[in-house]
Structure 1
Amino acid sequence: MTMKIGLVIMDEDPVDAVKVAKAADRAGVHSLWSIDYYNRSSLTRAASFAAVTENAIVGTSVTPLFARAPLALAAAAADIQAIAGGRFVLGVGSSTRRMNQDWYGTALQHPAPQVRERIELIRQLIAHRSGPFRFDGRFDSVAMAHYERAGLPTEIPIMAAGVGEHMVSAVGQCADGFVGHTIASADNLRDVSLPRLAAGAAKAGREVTDIRITTQIVAAASTDRAVARRDAAAQVGFYATPKGYDALFPDGQHAAERQASRDALARNDIDGIAAAGEAMVEDRAVYGTPEDIVEQLRRYADVVDWALLYPPTFGVDPDRVRANEHLLIEVAAAAAGGSA
């Protein structure tokens, strides 16, 4: 298997997350990723991972592009790259309109062009050395009479997430890499996302082969296969609820199960969500023993360059999340030729 295997570290407690990062780096895991949520800062956690590791790539999967001012995001990313000694990858995403409006107080009216422009602005902010800086775009404007950053990195790889046609095409036009959604099937990535990325790349005079293809994959490891399947199904069922992810279910695929999951979510019925997810879990997650997961990952091997194992947390006890992470370290380390 030539694709690289990374680990998304999901612990709510950042102290636990740092411990997992250190263990994964010692084991030889290829890459370590933080998430951003209302109770987690992807940038803070990525900085801590970078500080306690030596070899693994450190990335964010993903940082909301519009939750922070562009200058603040660029400054944080440059700091992390310096701490990481060049091992940092900034993964970004638009987030949903509701999250932008209700969580961040930001209007997101034209997501794809806003993402393209924001990525270009961040690149310019990071590349700048000294002297005045000015950017006047359709959505963003930044002006500084003095912007001195001679001692900081000038380049950071930027990967961007996408689900719908316009956003995936935008990623193909502007980003160094693509991040597939956590419950995108291998077939969806191959047959839907890659052609859209290629079309976007062509618009920008690029080749799709210039874009690193990654995806998060729900991954539940346990000696008890039934427990692993249930945890994976709950996460898949939960992520299947937003209508904004319809592109992951073309032609109305799993419409009944998705509606059942929405109804269960409205009742706060975790078991109901897991039950709905059971019908979708086979091709949208990997689960079982570490050996089972290695075998199931093969369906992604000709599609993605980096597979980012995403431990389920929805309805999962924190101790089981941590146990899963350590089993997934074995999977990722074995793929890298390391040892846990």
Structure 2
Amino acid sequence: MPERTATRGITVLRGGVAQIAAAGAEAERRGFDAVWSPEFYTRSAVVTLTRLAAETRRTRVGSSIAYGVGRSPLTIATEARSLDEVSGGRLVLGLGTGTRRMMSDWHGVDPEGPASRMEELVPLLRRLWRLHEAPVRHDGRFYHVNLTPTAEVDAPVRTDIPVYTAGVNARMVEVAGRVANGFLGHPLFSAGYLRGPVAEAIAAGAGKAERDPAEVEVCGVLICAVADDEEQARREVAGQLAFYAAPKAYGRVLAAQGFDAAGADIRAAFAAGDHAAMVAAVPDEMIDALAVAGTPSQVAERLRRYDGVLDHVIVYPPSFRLDAHRCDELVAQLLEHAAPQPRERLT
């Protein structure tokens, strides 16, 4: 029996909101199933998705991810409700917590229990989307809500907005199996790691909630570069892998995939402020296992290895240490060469 073909999406970190929206419109014309926006200290996922929703008509629009910390549950729920409205019911709400240091230093939030926090948050959001049916009263470990509407509340476009959660360690991956509609994998996950530990953790979480793990759409964010010169594409991918491998928090997942030494070298170079050494520390085996790089034909072929592994592949052009012109060029090349098989498209 042939393997299931993964659908395709694209996410772009570098660039302004208008540029990302234009890329999203082109992705829709080329048959991509979804366009995604990350969130960082330079990018609001909510604002970017609003523009993406306006520039597209039928493709899904999703956050990959929006921070599930630093916002109250009510703020997240109302932002998602409004985004789902302006997109005509096309939103995928991707949520994550970031690392413990990001939680404490960026958002001023207690970093304890991130998985338990997310397991409390997601069902609470679903109750808030049904505020037109009943008041919401919740006293939990992380959140307190006591909300009785003072005026009539209209029903949202959807009360079942899909929520996807992100995770790296097994306990955080379990969250998707327990409470989410989908899982957003990390760029440092190989196909083998997705088939093994990630699939096992999702199944474990689903089992605890008496759910079928097949209900969880498994998505992977895949660093991908295209160039006529294969070696150029590989070095560009190596830079983005080094960017993600630099935090100590990701050392364990690298070690589990056989890249413990590379991770240590990357972290040492990062601590020394030597970006060139960070990139040089990424071995060929790590590029081949964790990313896709090469000529147009090579990239098209290598993307197929995720069929039967992922339900949805999110291609992600590198930007670390690249100038704006090359970043724009990579987006255009991926839109052309990583597009899914032809299907009915907008005219």
TM tier, shorter chain? over 0.9
Structure 2 unaligned residues grouped into runs of 5+: none
Which amino acid counterpart does residue 310 of structure 2 have in structure 1?
Answer: V
Q: Does 2:7 match 1:9? A: no
Q: Does 2:318 match 1:312? A: yes
Inter-partner Cα distance in structure 2 for 1:69 and 1:238? 29
**Deviation for aligned residue 1:131:** 5.1
User: Is 2:7–2:340's contact at 8 Å kept on the other side of the alignment?
Assistant: no
Could you tell me which of 135, 143, 147 is aligned with 1:144?
Answer: 147
Structure 1 unaligned residues grouped into runs of 5+: none
**Deviation for aligned residue 1:3:** 0.8
Identity level (%): 34
Is the partner of 2:289 in helix, strand or coil?
A: coil
Q: Does 2:283 match 1:278? A: yes
User: Is 1:127–1:155's contact at 8 Å kept on the other side of the alignment?
Assistant: no
Q: 1:334 to 1:110 in 2, by over 3 A?
A: closer
**Deviation for aligned residue 1:133:** 2.4
Partner of 1:229: 234
Partner of 1:111: 114
- Cα deviation, 1:128-177, whole Å, max 9, x if unaligned, reads 21553212212101112316531423221000111111111122111100
Could you tell me which of 174, 179, 185 is aligned with 1:169?
Answer: 174
Q: 1:55 to 1:331 in 2, by over 3 A?
A: farther
- Cα deviation, 1:189-226, whole Å, max 9, x if unaligned, reads 10110011101101100011111011100011122222
Is the partner of 2:95 in helix, strand or coil?
A: strand
Partner of 2:296: 290
User: Is 1:218–1:235's contact at 8 Å kept on the other side of the alignment?
Assistant: yes
Which amino acid counterpart does residue 296 of structure 2 have in structure 1?
Answer: P
Query: Larger deviation: 55-64 or 244-253?
Result: 244-253
Inter-partner Cα distance in structure 2 for 1:308 and 1:334? 11
Q: 1:308 to 1:83 in 2, by over 3 A?
A: same
Query: Larger deviation: 307-316 or 261-270?
Result: 261-270
- Cα deviation, 1:220-247, whole Å, max 9, x if unaligned, reads 1122222211110011122112232234
**Deviation for aligned residue 1:67:** 2.2
Inter-partner Cα distance in structure 2 for 1:50 and 1:136? 34
Q: Does 2:44 match 1:41? A: yes
User: Is 2:251–2:260's contact at 8 Å kept on the other side of the alignment?
Assistant: no
Q: Give the alignment of 1:170-209 within 5 angstroms.
A: 170-209=175-214
User: Is 2:164–2:184's contact at 8 Å kept on the other side of the alignment?
Assistant: yes
**Deviation for aligned residue 1:339:** 7.6
Q: 1:256 to 1:141 in 2, by over 3 A?
A: same
Inter-partner Cα distance in structure 2 for 1:207 and 1:302? 18
Could you tell me which of 259, 271, 291 is aligned with 1:266?
Answer: 271
Which amino acid counterpart does residue 225 of structure 2 have in structure 1?
Answer: A
Partner of 2:220: 215
Q: Does 2:126 match 1:120? A: no
Q: Does 2:70 match 1:67? A: yes
Query: Larger deviation: 218-227 or 300-309?
Result: 218-227
Q: 1:39 to 1:281 in 2, by over 3 A?
A: same
Partner of 1:97: 100
Which amino acid counterpart does residue 267 of structure 1 have in structure 2?
Answer: A
**Deviation for aligned residue 1:12:** 2.7
Which amino acid counterpart does residue 97 of structure 2 have in structure 1?
Answer: S
Could you tell me which of 78, 87, 90 is aligned with 1:87?
Answer: 90
Inter-partner Cα distance in structure 2 for 1:337 and 1:230? 33
Which amino acid counterpart does residue 14 of structure 1 have in structure 2?
Answer: V
TM-score, length basis structure 1: 0.95
Q: 1:150 to 1:339 in 2, by over 3 A?
A: closer
Q: Does 2:262 match 1:257? A: yes
Where does structure 1 differ by over 6 angstroms across 4 or more consecutive aligned residues?
none
User: Is 2:248–2:267's contact at 8 Å kept on the other side of the alignment?
Assistant: no
Q: Does 2:35 match 1:29? A: no
TM-score, length basis structure 2: 0.93
